Amino acid sequence: MGKPKDQPFEKIPQHIAIIMDGNGRWAKARLLPRMAGHRAGAERLRNIVRACTDLGVRYLTVYAFSTENWKRPADEVNGLMNIFMDFLDKETPELLKEGVQVRHIGSKKELSDALLAKLQACIETTKNNDRLIFTLAINYGGRDEIVHAVQEIVQQGLPADAITDKTISDHLYTAGMPDPDLVIRTSGELRISNFLIWQSAYSEWLFTKTYWPDFNKNKLKEAILDYGTRSRRFGGRTKKEEEEAYNG
Ligand code: IPE
Ligand code: IPE
Ligand code: MG
């Protein structure tokens, strides 16, 4: 694994997940077509992947297309699919060079053969990298993921009382990955929109009004600094609280 270039933080989230929202409003504010917003968003993503490798983040998971985004007009959906294919074509050599391993989470069922082929090629090309695990959530929905997990578990015929948290986690698309430490949502919306609903049970959240195409390395650093001030208790008490033994 390459040494991080730029690690000024005491506490760095191992896994950052991002709901990349606000491309449409970014474009509208500039009197540009929505597609220009999505293209600017893809450009931003490549910078943020690079920033994560520089900062020593180990996992980056980004919400690129939800199971609900099929409700959008066909030209926007097709435009987005083309942007994903373009991104994979253009970025795979750089991702390979930078030590980034690409993964996909989401249902493959509705995705086109052309997109699946490019995704598969990128995943295969980068599979031995381990500096940053970069996961693209395309046609991803948290509920769909849980339904899929339950179907697999039932098909395997597991007895009810053998099912634990871990059984569920192991059947999710994210099996084997640590849960996100920090989830960032851009654009000012204060909701989860079906993203990593199981995995983010104890994640720290950061909401910013910045539209995704304006999000940058400095804003990411600010988010990481903010994360560093959080006291994660997971329902228990911090070590410091235990030491103080204040039961007042
Ligand atoms: C996020 O930007 C990209 C996707 C959901 C695919 P939006 O297209 O949702 O942008 P807003 O929320 O309309 O501004
Ligand atoms: C969430 O954004 C999905 C992605 C960023 C891919 P949306 O724009 O689809 O979410 P809602 O509809 O505002 O909740
Ligand atoms: Mg949106």
Which of the residues 54, 69, 214, 226 is marked catalytic? 69
Query: What is the predicted pLDDT for the residue at 248?
Result: 61
Nearest atom, ligand 1, residue 189 CA: 12
CA 23 / ligand 1 centre spacing (Å): 5
Query: What is the predicted pLDDT for the residue at 140?
Result: 99
CA 189 / ligand 3 centre spacing (Å): 8
Q: SS3 for 77?
A: helix
Residues with Cβ within 8 Å of 193's Cβ and at least 6 positions away in sequence, in order, are 19, 21, 63, 66, 68
Q: Is 23 a catalytic residue?
A: no
Query: What is the predicted pLDDT for the residue at 240?
Result: 79
Nearest atom, ligand 2, residue 69 CA: 9
Q: Is 69 a catalytic residue?
A: yes
User: Going by CA atoms, what residue is nearest to atom 11 of ligand 2?
Assistant: 193
Domains of the chain: 15-247 (3.40.1180.10)
Per-residue pLDDT of 4-17, as tens digits, reads: 666 678 899 999 99
Parts of the chain with a pLDDT under 70: 1-7, 246-248
Among all bound ligands, the one having the nearest atom to the CA of 27 is 1
**Is any atom of ligand 2 closer than 6 Å to the C-beta of 70?**
no
**CB environment 68-94: b (16+ within 10 A), e (fewer):** ebeeeeeeeeebbbebbbebbeebbee
CA 60 / ligand 2 centre spacing (Å): 18
Closest CA to 224 of 16, 79, 64, 83: 16
d(C-alpha 6, C-alpha 59), whole Å: 16
Residues with CB under 5 A from ligand 3 (ion): 21
**CB environment 189-218: b (16+ within 10 A), e (fewer):** eeeeebbbebbbeebbbbebebbbbbbeee
Query: What is the predicted pLDDT for the residue at 6?
Result: 67
CA 94 / ligand 1 centre spacing (Å): 26
User: Going by CA atoms, what residue is nearest to atom 1 of ligand 2?
Assistant: 193
Which residues, in sequence order, are bridge partners of residue 62? 18, 136
User: Going by CA atoms, what residue is nearest to atom 14 of ligand 2?
Assistant: 193
Query: What is the predicted pLDDT for the residue at 171?
Result: 98
CA 188 / ligand 2 centre spacing (Å): 11
Query: What is the predicted pLDDT for the residue at 7?
Result: 64
**Is any atom of ligand 2 closer than 6 Å to the C-beta of 212?**
no
Query: What is the predicted pLDDT for the residue at 5?
Result: 66
